[in-house]
Amino acid sequence: MDAAPTPAAESAVVEAPVVPVVIDDEREAMVSQLRGVIGDALLEYHIKPHDDLWIRVRTDAWVAVGKAVRDVLAMDYFDFLSAMDWMPSPYGRGEDDPTAEPVERSTEVKQGYAGGATRFQIMARVMSSTRHIGVTLKADVDDANPVIDSWIPVYRGANWHERECAEMFGIGFAGHPDLRKLYLPVDFEGYPLRKDFPLLARMVKPWPGIVDVEPIPAHLDTDGGDAE
Amino acid sequence: MTLTSSDRQQLNYIASQAADARVNVEIETEGMTLNIGPQHPATHGTLRIIAKVDGEQVVWAEPAAGYMHRGYEKLTEVRSFPQVTTLVNRIDWLGSFANEVPFILAAEKLMEIEAPPRAQYIRTILFELSRIANVTLFLGDMAAQLGALTPVFYAFRDREYVLNLIEAATGGRFHPNFDRIGGLKDDLPAGFIDETRAVMKKMRSFCTLMEDVLLGNEIFQQRCRGIGVIPKDIALSYGLSGANLRASGVNWDLRRDQKLPMAWDKVDWKVWTHPDGDSFARYWVRLQETRESTLIVDRLLDSMPSGPIMAKVPRIIKVPEGEAWVSTENPLGEMGYYVVSKGDTGPFRVKIRSASFNNVSIASWVLKGVLIPDVITILASLYFILGDIDR
């Protein structure tokens, strides 16, 4: 029998609210609202039309900014916190032949949306559970002494994210009660997600994928080579 | 006196707070450290819970993750964009197809292409099928954690029907690797639509069966009602997502509340919430959502458009420079990818935000003050997959 969904006992169904159409004006308004609270701690922002909002803030104001977005912009939902290493990897994609001459690669640091001044950046995403709109926050972290304040007083969920970030990028979180390693063995050395940490599996054995590539025979090539 | 559910929630919350206070204030007796796992059946893999107990009460508990960390974020940096789906299949291995979709959507967003309508429909159908396959197992397994073994066999039996469908369409039961940038690898096989309708009917009767067998059961109610209550604000600040969040009364579903090039907005369906926030509410919401998913699949099959399943994409995919964040409502909760591209054939960095990571990080809060047998119920009702915590 085709059972109809009749969980009548639990009258817990809430009618779907009318979702406001999220437009870029709302994001602009959010930026100016935030600027009113944190002032010049808001360094730069980037709005990608019909997509998302990025805001870069001053490192020393990181916790204050967190509290401002939580309380003023009603971003009550903690999505994630992570870091970026903007230096391109000196090992490329790990496809080099280990017996050949090492390849020289540019390791010039170039940051993404909302700019930046350092190689490492912290990024965090928070959302509003009522307005269904989110923002990605970024903050520069000093390369020589990568430390930033912990977000645990702002969002409880930041705890594990900061532990992961600390072991993977070597970024310290001041005020974190328990910055032990989360995934890695206690005696692990190095910070695996930094770009200058080589992927050892690709170092000990040449990557086989690259030798298999043959050009497509001309009579089978229907859309004119490697279209770009 | 009858208690309304919000009264009950408040009382439970006060009780759990009181338990915290009691633990702190009472003269410390000599406690004991109890290791639950890594090889405990309640942990769905190799999660280890370290608990300090005082008698039967947990004073402090913390999950120790990392027994299955595979470093996917690093591995994506040496892969090309199409190769990444093979990796992300293995994050939540019970609902694999759903893992591919947000990554592919993020890549498509950066390339400014969109899959054709038919591909969007098929994606959504397969997405919902993987939700059904995933959550079905939870619906049976939760009972197994409470000592009732029968439902888990029903669950394994009926999940097989759904896995057969996924295998028929994609070729893989667990790791479909079927989603492509710009569309899908293949169209649906002949007979898929009729077969799916029949299976959806079976899954609906499975849901009704679980409702009859478990929800009204007195033991089940006693073990789950008022146990592991998570209030709304705590849930949000820990970043709980999916059914765990909706069971705390937050009416938020990423399938409905954001604009995605998928087909969820093409059909009518309902978001289920429950105000209690306890283990029972989490089970109840998942049960209703599974049934709702079967209805979504049915309605999508009714209105499926014809047409191509692949947009025009270059043979060698280079993704333009930029950053993109896409998250979807996966079987376990919000799963998202923060993809950074530098205009290369592979991503510069991918941050994988998996649902179970946040869902389990609340454990040390919610397990404080509960009794040891309730640890199992609460963890089971939070429902996590180890691959989804450790990535």
Read off the pLDDT of residues A74-107 as tens digits, 9 standing for 90 and up.
888 999 999 999 888 888 777 776 667 777 788 7
How many whole angstroms from its chain centre is CA B47? 17
Would you call B65 and A5 a contact, using CB atoms and an 8 Å cutoff? Answer: no
pTM: 0.84
Cβ contact (<8 Å) for A132 and B291?
Answer: no
Q: Does A22 touch chain B (CB under 8 A)?
A: yes
Question: Under an 8 A CB cutoff, do B348 and A88 touch?
Answer: yes
Distance CA B122, CA A128 (A): 30
Q: Which residues of chain B have pLDDT under 50?
A: 1
CB B345 within 8 A of CB B81: yes
The answer to whether residue B70 neighbours chain A at the CB level (below 8 Å) is no
pLDDT at A5 over 80: no
* Contact call for B365 and A156, based on CB within 8 A: yes
Adjacent-strand bridge partners of A70? none
User: Residue A211: pLDDT above 60?
Assistant: no
> Shortest CB distance from A12 goes to which of B238, B274, B336?
B274
Within the 48-107 window of chain A, which residues sit less than 8 Å (CB to CB) from chain B? 48, 51-52, 54, 76-80, 82, 84-85, 88-89, 93-95
Tell me how far CA of residue B353 lies from CA of A78, A80, B243, B388, in angstroms. 11, 7, 17, 9
Calculate how close chain A gets to B191, using CA atoms only, in Å. 20
Strands A147-149 and A172-174: parallel
Alpha-carbon distance B276 to nearest alpha carbon in chain A (angstroms): 9
Report the distance separating Cα B227 and Cα B232, nearest Å: 15
The band of A11, judged by pLDDT with boundaries at 50, 70 and 90, is: very low
Q: How are strands ordered across the β-sheet holding A52-57?
A: A42-48, A52-57, A134-141, A120-127, A77-85
Instruction: Tell me the residue length of chain A.
Output: 228
Q: What is the pLDDT of residue B338?
A: 93
Nearest CA in chain A to B273: A13
Average pLDDT, stretch A127-151?
A: 89
Residue carrying structure tokens 């559910």: B5
Q: What is the pLDDT of residues A40-82, one digit of tens each?
A: 888 888 888 778 889 999 888 899 999 989 888 888 899 999 9
- Please report how the helices B279-302 and B192-210 are oriented relative to each other, as an axis angle in degrees rounded to 10: 160
Query: What letter would DSSP give residue A200?
Result: T
Distance CA A46, CA A172 (A): 27
For residue B104, the model assigns a pLDDT of 92
